[in-house]
Each structure stands twice: as C-alpha cells, then as structure tokens.
Amino acid sequence: MSHSKRLLSIDVLRAINMLFMIFVNDLSGVSHVPKWIDHVKGWEDGMHFADTIFPLFLFIAGLSIPLAIGKRIEKGNSAGSITGYIALRSFALIVMGFFHVNMEDYSKQALLPLPVWGLLLTISFFLIWLDYPDTLAKTKKYALIGTGIVILILLGVLYKGVDEDGGIRWLEPSWWGILGLIGWAYLVCSLIYLLTKGNMMGLLTALLVLVGTNLAVHAKLIDFKIPIINDASCASLMMFGVIVSLLYSKIIAKGSYKWLWPSFTVLGVALIGFGFLVRPYTQGISKIHSTPAWIFICTGIGVLVFEIIIFLVDVKGKAGWFKIIKPGGTSTLTCYLIPYLLVSLMALVHFTYPDFLDEGTGGIIRSFAVAFVVILVTGVLEKRRIRLKI
C-alpha cells in the first residue's frame, strides 16, 4: 500500500471520534450523568469514556501524517514547500486554539458580549480558511480572506479577559486550547516525519525520545517542561499514530492481512498493560495531567479500535454503515467549529433547553442528537463546498 493512498478506515475512525467529541463537549452542560461517561476530576487517578476522545483524536491525526506528507514526497515536492505546508497548517490550528482558549476567561467588561465575539470569531475562521472554489475570482477570494483577517485582528484588539486576581488582561496562550495542542503536536510530528523521510527507525527513535520525556517529567526525574512539546504528551500520542500507520502500510505491502490481526492485537494489549505498569510511578492515570499511563492506555485502545475499523471498512467493505457520520471524517475541522456557531446563536436568542434535556437520560439523548445534527449540517455544507481547508 502506498503511503499516499487515502484510507477509508481512517476517515471512518475520525468520523466516529468526531461524533463522540461533539457528544462529550455538549454533555459537559448536562448534570446527573453516569460517572463512567464524564471526565474524571483533575485530582483523581483514573479515566472515563470522555477522557479517551481527545487522545484518540491526536492518535488519528498521526495516522494521517504518512499519507499526507507521503503524497507530497511522492509528487516530488521540495522539502521547503512541504515544510511551508506543514507550517501553515500548524499556524492555522494554533491561531484558532489561541483564540478559543481565551473565551474561557472572557470579561463582561469587554465591548462585545461573548456570544457576539464568539460568533464573529468563528465567521472570521471560515472567511480565512474556507476551501474556496477555483472558479471564484481571485480578487473576491482575497477580499473575503482579508475581511476575515481584519475581523480577527479587531476581535483581538477588543478582547478583555479576567486574570487570576480578577483584573483585566489581554489575550494569552494559556494551555493553547484543543486545536492549539493539536497544531503544536502536528508541527513536531510532521517535521520529524519529513526529516526522517518516513524511515521507521528514525521515527521509532523520535517516539522513544518523546515518550521518554513524558515519563521523565511525571516520574519527577526532570522538573521542567520543554518549549513547544511541553511534557511531550500530545506529540507522543500523535507519533504513535504515525508509527501504527506505517506499520499498517508495511504489513499490507506484503499482500496479506493475516499478520495484521495478531500484530495489532498484541500491540494494543501490550500498550494498555504497560500503561497500568507505569501507573504507580508516574502520577497515575490522568488526562488533566497528561500522564504516561493515560497516553499508553489510550494509544492501546486506539490501536484496537483501528484494527476493528480496518476489518469492517478496508477488508469487509462496510464503509456504508458509517455513511450518516461520514462528513465528520472528511470535513472534520468544519464539524468541530459548527458547535461554536450554535452555542453563540443560542446565547444570543437566550435559548435554553427544558430541564428534562439538561440532566440524566434526557440530557444524554440531547447530546447525541446535537452531535448528529452538527454532522448533518456539516454534510449539507460540504455538498455546497462550504468547508474549511488548512
């Protein structure tokens, strides 16, 4: 299998992950839900269903790197042009994450109410990074992009946040937000892939360095975090995806799936087992603190779930089973941003859910409904060529 060939199994896995990401994000506003679904508290040693969604997103992003970068290498693109492609994609994610994370501490003293600021922010993202059709005149395209940039700059100028002491502050990176963390990890892992030219030994060495850094931080062997990679948790999860994607390619290149099933099963179980092994020595299992046990267990789960999806989609050809959620895997960034539009619009019209949809079973059903509606809207927009492309 060529490293540049698009895999339906990865698209399906990404779509499933996106469905559950929207679900758990919406569920955060629902009370009285079963503990096993919701996030574990920051001080607890353990993980629930919601704590697996973000790390699996990073793992899946890693699966796609050999395909995306490999495609450009096979086309004969220069290292400089590929580096530029990586940098621009990373920059877009980091910028979006940077603005999103500042919504958490938005001040009521700001000129614009948060719903208006958030709505304009999402609109600016669409204007800047929309996948404009080739038939659109360049003057119109650049005018729309320029409008988006101007809106984004104005929103930055008008921003007021609340600092730890209750005072007013301006925009700051904080923890960079979900998209920002993905952007930094993508930058690191993609550049490593480019530098090693997809060499398995080089990538395994990089993975060992990243995982070793995370282990050392949480085992208290080092008491500092490294710029860009921090404790290397996000980059480790994504690099695991890169390795697994290459492993899949190498096994299938031999023309048979018979070695894939035992290989992925053993790898997945071993990673989960190793996670529990290091748990007592590296600050337990914690998504909030991005501990090694959390990384290994989530990666192991990712490998096993990927194996199941490979069997269903790539081997048995059952991609049609997942058609209803397909847009979540093909227009993922668009799908991720639509809830920001919905939340802002709901706040502007003062819409609130009835009590029975704000708690318990009713709330869970509501969150699933929201997730499916968001993916449905994404699909409608996708058919009209309204999707983000970075």
Q: How far apart are CA 187 and CA 98, in angstroms?
A: 15
- Six token digits for residue 154: 């104005």
Break the chain into its structural domains and give their ranges. 8-383
CB 145 within 8 A of CB 128: yes
Q: Mind listing the pLDDT tens digit for each residue in 123-172?
A: 999 999 999 999 999 999 999 999 999 999 999 999 999 998 889 999 99
The per-residue pLDDT for 1 is 47
Average pLDDT over residues 28-41: 93
- Six token digits for residue 95: 């910028």
Residue 84 amino acid letter: G
More confident residue, 46 or 3: 46
The per-residue pLDDT for 361 is 96
**Statement: residue 74 has pLDDT above 70:** yes
Question: Of 64, 87, 80, nearest to 3 (Cα)?
Answer: 64
pLDDT band at 7; cut points 50, 70, 90: confident
Any idea how long the chain is?
Answer: 390
- Six token digits for residue 163: 């600092």
The per-residue pLDDT for 90 is 98
The per-residue pLDDT for 29 is 87
**Statement: residue 224 has pLDDT above 90:** no
The alpha-helical segments, DSSP class H, found in the chain are: 8-27, 53-74, 79-101, 114-129, 138-158, 177-196, 200-218, 233-253, 260-278, 292-309, 327-330, 332-348, 360-383
Q: Residue 60, Cβ neighbours under 10 Å: how many?
A: 26
CB 231 within 8 A of CB 225: yes
Cα of 355 vs its chain's centroid, Å: 31
Q: At which residue do the structure tokens 């929207």 appear?
A: 22
Average pLDDT over residues 338-366: 96
**Statement: residue 376 has pLDDT above 80:** yes
Q: How far apart are CA 73 and CA 203, in angstroms?
A: 16
The per-residue pLDDT for 5 is 54
Report which secondary-structure segment, H or E, holds 162.
strand 161-162
CB 56 within 8 A of CB 16: no
Q: Mind listing the pLDDT tens digit for each residue in 56-72?
A: 999 999 999 999 999 99
**Statement: residue 280 has pLDDT above 70:** yes
CB 285 within 8 A of CB 279: yes
Question: Of 339, 265, 308, nearest to 26 (Cα)?
Answer: 339
Task: Give the mean pLDDT of the chain.
Answer: 95
- Six token digits for residue 146: 């320029």
The pLDDT > 90 percentage for the chain reads 92
pLDDT band at 4; cut points 50, 70, 90: very low
The per-residue pLDDT for 46 is 96
Residue 360 region, left (φ>0) first, then alpha (ψ -120 to 50), else beta? left
Helix (H, G, I), strand (E, B) or coil at 44: coil
Average pLDDT over residues 326-350: 97
Helix (H, G, I), strand (E, B) or coil at 274: helix
**Statement: residue 2 has pLDDT above 70:** no
Q: How far apart are CA 241 and CA 189, in angstroms?
A: 10
SS3 sequence of 313-357 = HHHCCCHHHHHHHCHHHHCHHHHHHHHHHHHHHHHHCCCCCCHHH
List, as one string, the DSSP characters of 87-152.
HHHHHHHHHHHHHHHGGGGB-TTSSS-HHHHHHHHHHHHHHHHB---TTS-HHHHHHHHHHHHHHH
Helix (H, G, I), strand (E, B) or coil at 159: coil
The pTM assigned to this predicted structure is 0.95
The rounded radius of gyration (Å) of the Cα atoms in the chain is: 21
Question: Of 45, 51, 47, nearest to 28 (Cα)?
Answer: 51
CB 171 within 8 A of CB 156: yes
